[in-house]
Structure 1
Amino acid sequence: MSKNIRFFSIFILGFTIYYFFDLFCFKSIQQFSKELFHSKAIAHIIAYLVSLVPLVITLKILFPKKDILNLFSLDRPIIKGFVLAFLGTLPMLIGYFIHFKINITINTESLFINTISSAFFEEIIFRAFLIGTLFRFTKLGFLSSVVLGSLLFAQVHLYQSQKTKELIEIFAITFLGSVFFAWVYFEQNFNLWGAIFLHALMNLYWEIFNVSENVSGNLHGNLFKFLSLFLIIGIIIYHRRKNKIHFQITWKSLFIKSTEAQS
């Protein structure tokens, strides 16, 4: 019991420090870095890297003998993650190309921030640390592990609108999106690269085509997005069944696992 109390106390304290550090210092670090390097993209990366320090320290305290890349699930095959994401999001790419015009006013730095940088760091923070650590190293099941991280993930995307209806839609979509990214991450044997590339490519296609002003989307925008989600689910299920690989998420691991998952 004392071991569990120590684990969750350090975990919660570490994330709380990160949360308030990010809340009060992220924009200041970003602004300072932008003035120093004259690049919004570089400033965005630096601000994220600095804000990640409390999470890195937390994981090293909890698992001093484990490699930090393993703890953040970044030591898995990158190509495997990219192939799944690219094939899975082809319905979005093809559908958007047919139904929407290309956005010719894209700023390259903003595109980088909204696709590559945001996807990479958000997956590290929410999926690898906040959700993944709980599922991989405790007896908490999938739903028990995913709720808090997905609620916070949805909350940080509410800046996209001021309208009540759209806010509800944005919250619901990003919450469910977080659950889906976590499932992909777990069922790829804790390969975070699949979720990172999936997140980045979905954001990329949404940005380069005039789909919608925010994530709530529209009929065709969401239709092709859901087709991609179903295709990704199908690819993962087919691959695991064909190779007789047991699923990480089953009825027996929804709330409490009988044994701790091994990474």
Structure 2
Amino acid sequence: MDAKSLRVLWITLLSFAIYFVLDDLYFHSLRKWINEYINQIGVSHIITYSVFGIPLLLGSLLIHHFRNLLSSLGLNGSLAKGFLFPLLCTLPMLIGYAIVFEFNPEINLSLILISAVSAAFFEELYFRGFLFGQLYRFTQLGFLPSILLGAIVFALIHLYQSQDPLTLLGIFLTTFLGAILFAWLYAEWNFNIWIPIFLHLFMNLFWMMFSAGENALGGVYSNVFRILTIVLAIVLTILYKRKKGMKLEVTKSTLWMKKREILIERSAG
């Protein structure tokens, strides 16, 4: 691995480690303190998430400087495309859950802000846009090494949802594979972070709207429609790229380690 890749690697990992430790130790206490002043737990949650993202912001600035900040995190991608494609892909969940399940009467603004909007935006921005994105886009690491750490951590932070060992294993595998899916979509849609953000948002929102499951694992019907959404997202992505004459980003040549020429070409672009 060349010197530039090593620099990006250690800045990315150190920044993410600082964020993760601070978030783990102080998130709930800071959110509680903020909520005492504004009395809106959903907004307090978003503000707290934003504050703990400062180490990642500083890490991005160290790597790319201010002028390339948005593009380095995928935030300069098409917002319209990022909204419409995930909405299309999640229609099986929306329609299927509306038919099979009953509407959740306990859903409210705070729940939507915390479990849909905030979870989707910050988890995708921090885990895929920053951690995976910096490693995959700006080092010689391939797709699998770049996503492995983030996918494991992403899965681990969802294990609070159950105490049963088998259920925990199911939740771990579900969220681990979900992290890989979101990262793959991010890469294949020209590093447009809005694609995984809105896909994550709609999947969480429809899951909550119809109480599709008590945790991320879900049941038979909830997973049937979730799998349909996942398959649709993958198939439509591949078909879209073929129609546009675009090569897939994740191939054998980018799976483990990328050649230096690929990295130079991407930096120049």
- CA–CA distance in structure 2, aligned partners of residues 230 and 81 of structure 1: 18
Residue 78, structure 1, aligned to residue 79, structure 2: yes
**Deviations 1:71-99 (CA, angstroms, capped at 9, x unpaired):** 21111110101111011111111111111
Deviations 1:97-149 (A, max 9, x none): 11111111223211221001110000011000111111111111111111000
Distance in 2 separating the partners of 1:183 and 1:24? 30
- Normalization by structure 1: what TM-score? 0.96
Residue type at the aligned position of 1:132: G
Q: Which residue of 2 aligns with 1:194?
A: 195
Q: Which runs of at least 4 in structure 1 moved beyond 6 Å after TM superposition?
A: none
**What is the correspondence of 1:133-212 to structure 2 with a 5 Å cutoff?**
133-212=134-213
Q: Following TM superposition, by how much is the alpha carbon of 1:210 offset from its aligned partner in structure 2, in angstroms?
A: 2.2
Answer whether contact 2:8 2:138 (CA < 8 A) is retained. no
Letter in 1 for 2:146: S
Equivalent residue letter for 1:218: G
In the alignment, the residues of structure 2 paired with residue 25 and residue 104 of structure 1 have an alpha-carbon distance, to the nearest angstrom, of 32
SS at structure 2 position matched to 1:67? helix
Residue 80 and residue 4 in structure 1: after superposition, are their counterparts in 2 closer, same or farther (change >3 A)? closer
- Answering whether residue 75 of structure 2 is matched by residue 64 of structure 1, we say no
Q: What is the CA-CA distance between 1:10 and the residue it aligns to? A: 2.1
Correspondence for 2:228? 227
More moved, 120-129 vs 13-22: 13-22
Secondary structure class of the residue paired with 1:235 = helix
Is the CA contact 2:6–2:139 (under 8 Å) kept in the aligned structure 1? no
> What is the Cα deviation at residue 26 of structure 1?
1.4
Q: Helix, strand or coil: the match of 2:47? A: helix
Separation in 2, partners of 1:191, 1:64: 19
Amino acid at match of 2:117: I
Shift of residue 70, structure 1, vs aligned partner: 1.4
Residues 189-244 of structure 1: per-residue CA shift (max 9 Å, x gap): 00010100000000001000021100111111001100111111111111100110
Instruction: Summarize the alignment of residues 45-124 of structure 1 with structure 2, pairs less than 5 Å apart.
Output: 45-64=46-65, 66-124=67-125
Q: How far apart are 1:18 and its partner, in Å?
A: 1.1
CA distance in 1, matches of 2:50, 2:169: 31
Gaps of 5+ in 1: none
Conserved? CA contact 1:74–1:193, under 8 Å: yes
CA deviation after TM superposition for structure 1 residue 40, in Å = 0.3
Identity of aligned residues (%): 41
Q: CA deviation at 1:2?
A: 4.1
Q: Secondary structure at the match of 2:84?
A: helix
Aligned residue for 1:257? 258
Work out whether residues 19 and 56 of structure 2, in 8 Å CA contact, stay in contact via their aligned partners in 1: yes
The aligned length equals: 263
Preserved contact between residue 33 and residue 42 of structure 1 (Cα < 8 Å): no
TM-score by length of 2: 0.94
Letter in 2 for 1:77: S
For 2:12 and 2:81, the matched residues in 1 are separated by 30
Amino acid at match of 1:72: L
Is there any run of 5+ residues in structure 2 with no aligned partner, and where? none
Render the CA deviation track for 1:1-40: whole Å, top value 9, x for unaligned. 4444333222222111111111112112111110010010
Give distance in 2, aligned partners of 1:194 and 1:7: 24
Mapped partners of 1:87, 1:4: distance in 2 = 37
Q: Which SS does the other structure have where 1:132 is aligned?
A: helix
